[in-house]
Amino acid sequence: DNPHTKAFRFREWMIGEASRKRPELVFLAEAFTRPKVMAQLAKAGFSQSYTYFTWRNTKWELETYLRELTRSSVREYFRPSFWPNTPDILPEPLQYGGRPVFQARLVLAATLAASYGIYGPVYELLEGRARAQGTEEYLDSEKYEVRNWDLAQDSLKDFIARVNRIRRENPALQSNDTLTFHRIENDQLIAYSKATEDHSDLVLVVVNLDPHHVQAGFVELPLTLLGLEPGEPYQVHDLLGGGRYFWQGERNYVEIDPRMAPAQIFRIRRRVRTERDFDYFF
């Protein structure tokens, strides 16, 4: 907690000594401070670090920040952990966006970064009440009092479990190395993909950043990424909603209603079976 308020040399010594005795330990730098200081903490040996994802909400902000984390020299030493909220911070969108914002921010955190976390049960129970207008402080904060939570009430428990299961079953989402953003002519929709090194697991994510309205557009997915020829069909399976669709070509239509689910996580199956796959054809 607040590692940037302690001497860096102490942190280096402490992490080094602890890691020699317990190499399985993971150290999270729970710090929101100047970029250079956060970078220095990572270089001091922290396994993971808090990030500015908490305040990156627009498409441009997200794409710019992720390119910095994954395509610059920062990637060599900084391991980002994305948190849509913390015990100290209730971001403004969570105060007015309702369930769709909580779901969308969870999907973004869980699929953009290899590591993510939430402060729950506050997040799970959609707690969005601020101490006062214009602040990012929780009302009745657990920092100052003991809270009892009714976990049986309406919550995101099942949604969180489903997203975590998708992460576990798709190795592509467990790394930041192949993150690629894709063009979609709607600033309220953000699209990106991740793949394993051998492309055996290829996942496309489309998120509606508007919690109040249906948003639609054509996402452009280069066929070279899929290893397909022009005109060759492929199947996409929405792991969140369950739908299966046959796509063809580089531009395909998506439409997302935030009242249903503000995101689609597609597992792409590049090869579609034909009659030649059956024994009797031969």
Tokens of 49: 């670090």
Token pair 């099942």 in the structure block, residue: 158
30, 127, 210, 238: the catalytic one is 30
244-248 and 233-238 as β-strands: parallel, antiparallel, unpaired? Answer: antiparallel
Q: Is 30 a catalytic residue?
A: yes
Task: Provide the token pair at 53.
Answer: 């994802």
Structure tokens at 138: 């929780």
Q: How far apart are the first and last CA of the chain?
A: 66
Q: Is 220 exposed, middle or buried, given 0-12, 13-18 or 19+ CB atoms closer than 10 A?
A: middle
Residue in 1, 76, 198, 275 annotated catalytic: 1
At residue 36, φ and ψ (nearest 5 deg) are -65, -35
Token look-up 């007015």 returns 96
Q: What are the structure tokens assigned to 17, written together?
A: 């000594």
% helix / strand / coil in the chain, to the nearest 5? Answer: 35, 20, 45
The residues annotated with a catalytic role in the active site are 1, 30
